[in-house]
């Protein structure tokens, strides 16, 4: 009896020892083997499990297009640094630098950017290409009215952009912006065309058919290209609506590339834009004022005066001869009322400015006016803005 008790105790102790030293690890190993998944590295001792991809990542069609646009256009986008000497009360005259973006137009080294990027740069302008090489830039010409500037650099193996036609753009169209926001070179953002509208630029000059986009545009993007899904330039990024925050709020604007095309020939040839002009000082008339004045039509552009020797003067258009007041502002009555240019209705001076963007000095246009109750159409040869 005692022997059986001793044997039973030995078996129990031996079984307990074996179970506590061998069985749990064997079970855990067996369970891990049963639960093992492809591509998962198991390390039971540390408790760390890493999941690794079995193949290189693939891109969907949209990602492939994003990458293709970036690779195609990046070599054509430049960073621009302008240096200006300014007076500091404590340190005297010190250099101050501004940054922006631009893009290469041709292999001769012409670069397009915003006027405000290089404005006042009395200590030079420097252009850095995507390969990090830097070149001194010459300002070939500027157009403050349209916020455009044409630069030129002497650099080898330049890759110019392809310019699109901005006349047929649609709201909802996908767009890309590449530039130098906050000094972060080679940055691409993506969005859509949110609207196409007329806005006022930094000089309060009208920008007709400006491209509004929700692609992130920030300080430093100015002058850089806005691109379509084929990587063609449809606009020049120029300003943001930020409500004083000085950063993207999802409302950015670009100058349509067709506007730039209209002035590039003058910039390369003359170093300035020979902006066409009717040679008049004018005032927009609406229905209420037209009724009070007893005009023949409800709206138009009233000629206040004609510039001596200007286009309107040469064509025989008449300015006002009687002073009156609209509120506290004096205006001249009795002049011709312009109602159309080339058959297109005009109701305020901005309409005339928009039509002038489609012409050059020396072009002939038809101007429809009311002189008293009589309608007259007169052909005139456009002069230059400096006449005004």
**CA pair distance 53, 56, nearest whole angstrom:** 7
- Whether 337 and 300 have beta carbons less than 8 Å apart is answered as yes
Is 116 noted as a catalytic residue in this protein? Answer: yes
Contacts of 356 (CB under 8 A, 6+ apart): 275, 276, 277, 278, 382
**CA pair distance 331, 277, nearest whole angstrom:** 21
Catalytic residue among 147, 209, 313, 336: 147
Catalytic residue among 82, 101, 110, 116: 116
Residue from 346, 376, 341 nearest 359 by CA: 341
Catalytic residue among 76, 222, 248, 282: 222
Is 147 noted as a catalytic residue in this protein? Answer: yes
Is 165 noted as a catalytic residue in this protein? Answer: no
Torsion of CA 256, 259, 265, 268, to 10 degrees: -60
Burial letters for 246-268: b for 16+ Cβ neighbours within 10 Å, e otherwise? eebeebbbbbbbbbbebbbebbb
**Residues in a beta bridge with 305:** 281
Residue from 91, 151, 96 nearest 122 by CA: 96
Indicate which residues carry an active-site annotation: 116, 147, 222
């Amino acid at each position: 009896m005692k022997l059986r008790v001793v044997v039973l105790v030995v078996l129990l102790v031996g079984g307990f020892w074996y179970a506590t030293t061998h069985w749990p690890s064997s079970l855990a190993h067996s369970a891990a083997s049963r639960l093992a998944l492809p591509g998962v590295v198991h390390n039971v001792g540390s408790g760390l499990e890493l999941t690794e991809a079995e193949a290189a990542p693939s891109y969907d069609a949209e990602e492939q297009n994003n990458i293709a646009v970036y690779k195609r256009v990046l070599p054509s986008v430049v960073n621009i640094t302008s240096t200006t000497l300014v007076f500091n009360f404590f340190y005297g005259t010190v250099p101050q630098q501004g940054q922006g973006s631009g893009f290469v137009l041709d292999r001769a080294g012409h670069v397009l950017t915003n006027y405000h990027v290089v404005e006042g740069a009395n200590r030079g302008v420097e252009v850095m290409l995507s390969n990090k090489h830097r070149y001194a830039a010459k300002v070939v010409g500027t157009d403050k009215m349209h916020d455009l500037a044409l630069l030129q650099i002497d650099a080898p193996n330049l890759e110019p952009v392809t310019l699109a036609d901005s006349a047929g753009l649609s709201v909802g169209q996908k767009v890309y912006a590449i530039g130098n926001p906050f000094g972060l070179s080679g940055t691409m953002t993506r969005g859509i065309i949110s609207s196409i509208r007329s806005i006022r630029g930094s000089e309060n000059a009208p920008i007709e058919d400006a491209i509004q986009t929700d692609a992130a545009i920030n300080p430093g993007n100015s002058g850089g290209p806005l691109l379509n899904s084929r990587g063609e330039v449809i606009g020049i990024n120029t300003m943001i609506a930020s409500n004083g925050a000085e950063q993207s709020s999802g409302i950015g604007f670009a100058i349509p590339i067709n506007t730039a095309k209209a002035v590039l020939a003058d910039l390369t040839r003359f170093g300035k834009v020979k902006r066409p002009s009717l040679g008049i000082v004018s005032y927009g008339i609406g229905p209420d004022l037209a009724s009070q004045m007893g005009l023949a039509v409800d709206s138009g552009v009233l000629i206040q005066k004609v510039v001596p020797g200007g286009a309107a003067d040469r064509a025989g258009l008449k300015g006002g001869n009687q002073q009156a007041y609209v509120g506290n502002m004096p205006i001249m009555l009795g002049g011709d009322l312009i109602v159309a240019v080339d058959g297109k209705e005009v109701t305020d001076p901005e309409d005339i400015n928009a039509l002038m963007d489609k012409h050059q000095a020396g072009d002939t246009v038809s101007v429809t006016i009311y002189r008293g109750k009589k309608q007259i159409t007169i052909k005139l040869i456009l002069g230059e803005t400096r006449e005004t």
